[in-house]
Amino acid sequence: MRTFRFPHPLVLLVGFIAVAMLLSYVLPASEFARQADAATGRDVVVAGSYHRVAPTPVSPLQALVDIPKGMAEAASVIFLVFLAGGAFTVVDHTGALRRGVDWLLDKFRGREAVVIPIISVLFATMGALENMQEEIIPLVPVLLILMRRIGYPPLTAVAVSLGSAAVGAAFSPLNPFQVGIAQKLAQLPLLSGGAFRMAFLVVALGLWILGTVRFAQKNRVAPQAADAADATAGGAGRHGLVLLLLLLTFSYFAYGVLELGWDFEQMAALFFTLGIVAGLVGGLGLTGTAEGFIAGFRDIAFSALLIGFARAIFVVLEQGHIVDTIVQALSAPLAHLPVTVAALGMMGVHTALHLPVPSVSGQAVLTMPLLVPLSDLIGLPRQVTVLAYQYGAGLCELLTPTNGALMAMLVACGVRFDQWWKFVFPLYLVLLAVGIAAVVIGIAVGLK
């Protein structure tokens, strides 16, 4: 008897593109009017402007064309992954990463499980500060080296990095791409309700770390021994300089994102510079540095391109003019529900919407102008409306196959999607329960 095997990531995403194409023939085409919003600098929907438009079903040929269109729309992210992936491969070729891992493990010898909380808090902080996701993909080499040296399975590398970042972003009190945009659209002061969110962030992250540690310990294998041949260039001095350069790069990266408003292009340029300087300082020379970049491009190519395939799903839905149809169908029934049930219904709406609308910021500008007036009508605090969006959409980043960064990260780490689901789904339900508790308590205390 043949056992079911979960589809390959590429098959899965192409399948979703095909489903989106078929839905364009089944669902009525419609749209909301949109207008520029000065507070967010984005186009937002106009409440009450929903109307039908002429059908625009997407043909199979158009759907195929939408795949390169999706890649074009995600080009800045894809090129960040390519250039940063190449840069970290160059750093890896210098041997500095392995020496850094050796140093870290030596400091925590006999207490290796402590590494998971430390790394998880680091990535959760970056998720909370700037919604870090795609930027994590190039870090796969060092994460895998670290986990293998401890004896933890590759899935742990995804959990402590992208998983922790997603939890941090979903429960963040200040993530500008989630709660920041949503609070602006809800006309709430930025950072309002921050202490309330921080309390639930601590609880959620603690539960995530606990689940990750339990999985890692349960599935631990014999640690991979250090290989002296891995240190291919230079000695301790050069390795130390490369690691210092890496630290300075991440510090400037954080400053650029948080203070200078960097986009993916500036991030990519910074990491490309890191690769060049690290290669020369690490003793690889110009040719060795170039070869390191090429090896990195080759290794990261499929992971990077998956981001474009995931984006193509939304492109097809947009061409078929059915994104707004789905939003209206899910949000309209909420007006007839009791306040608490409506709030939890909003979480459900955001959860369902995050499959066809995989951008958290895009989902905010699409839904908040509709749900905020509804909240006022039924007496639901606007802050709770934002919470429902955060937890409903943000936690979906952990498990939706339309999240290109997640799919790319799993492929880069050699983890099957069904393996990830088996690990993450119970934790997702636990975190969702935390979010539900936060929404109910927020209503009870009249969170402002």
Q: Are 188 and 208 in contact (CB under 8 A)?
A: no
2 pLDDT higher than 80:
no
Per-residue pLDDT, averaged over 61-72, amounts to: 94
Give mean pLDDT, residues 23-29. 95
Least confident of 229-233, 288-292, 304-308, 386-390: 229-233
**Are 13 and 306 within 8 A, CB to CB?**
yes
Please, which residues bridge with residue 35 across strands? 44
pLDDT over 60 (residue 425): yes
Give Cβ neighbours of residue 151 (< 8 Å, ≥ 6 apart): 112, 220, 221, 222, 223, 224
Do residues 114 and 108 make contact, with C-beta atoms less than 8 angstroms apart?
yes
Residue 235 confidence class, pLDDT cut points 50, 70, 90: low
Give the pLDDT confidence score for residue 146 in this predicted structure: 87
Mean pLDDT, all residues of the chain? 88
* Stretch 200-222: mean pLDDT: 94
pLDDT at 70 over 80: yes
Q: CA 107 to CA 103: how far, in whole Å?
A: 6
Strand partners for 30: 52
Please state the rounded mean pLDDT for residues 89-95: 86
- When mean pLDDT is compared across 69-78, 96-105, 229-238, the lowest value belongs to 229-238
| CA distance linking residue 346 with residue 45, whole number of Å | 17
Q: What are phi and psi of 51, to 5 degrees?
A: -155, 155
pLDDT for 170 beyond 60: yes
Between 265 and 141, residue with greater pLDDT: 265
pLDDT at 234 over 60: no
Whether pLDDT at 110 is above 80:
no
Predicted pLDDT of residue 232: 45
Helices (H), 235-332: 236-258, 264-281, 285-319, 323-331
Is residue 89 within 8 Å of 274, Cβ to Cβ?
A: no
Q: What's the Cα-to-Cα distance from 354 to each of 6, 363, 384, 387, 392, rounded to whole Å?
A: 21, 7, 19, 15, 8
- Report the range of poorest mean pLDDT among 150-164, 325-339, 379-393: 325-339
More confident residue, 284 or 228: 284
3-state secondary structure of 425: helix
Pick the residue with more confidence: 257 or 178? Answer: 178
Q: Is the pLDDT of residue 97 over 80?
A: no
Q: What is the pLDDT of residue 340?
A: 94
pLDDT at 306 over 70: yes
What does the DSSP 8-state code read for residue 94?
A: T
Mean pLDDT of the region 408-414: 91
Nearest to 210 by CA among 164, 173, 149, 154: 164
Beta bridge partners of 36: 43
Q: What percent of the chain has pLDDT over 70?
A: 96
CB contact at 8 A, 117 and 213:
yes
Confidence check: pLDDT of 229 > 50: no
The answer to whether 316 touches 58, Cβ cutoff 8 Å, is yes
- Is the pLDDT at 242 greater than 80? The verdict is yes
Token pair recorded at residue 279: 């290669």
- How confident is the model at residue 92, as a pLDDT? 83
Angle at 23 between CA 22 and CA 28, to 5 degrees: 130
pLDDT of residue 230: 47
What's the confidence (pLDDT) of residue 357?
84
Report field, pTM of the whole predicted structure over 0.85: no
Task: Say what the pLDDT of residue 47 is.
Answer: 79
DSSP 360-413: HHHHHHHHHHHHHHHHHHHT--HHHHHHHHHHHHHGGGGT-TT-HHHHHHHHHH
Residue 233 pLDDT: 44
Measured between alpha carbons, how far is 328 from 12 in angstroms, rounded to an integer? 27
Phi then psi dihedrals of residue 64, to 5 deg:
-65, -40
Whether the pLDDT of residue 1 is over 50: the answer is: no
Banded pLDDT at 133 (limits 50, 70, 90): confident
SS3 37: strand
Confidence at residue 272, expressed as pLDDT on a 0 to 100 scale? 93
The answer to whether the beta carbons of residues 165 and 133 sit under 8 Å apart is yes
Which pLDDT score, from 0 to 100, does residue 426 have? 97
pLDDT-derived band of residue 48, with 50, 70 and 90 as boundaries?
A: confident
H-helix segments, 48-95: 60-73, 75-93
Judged on CB neighbours under 10 Å (0-12, 13-18, 19+), 324 is buried
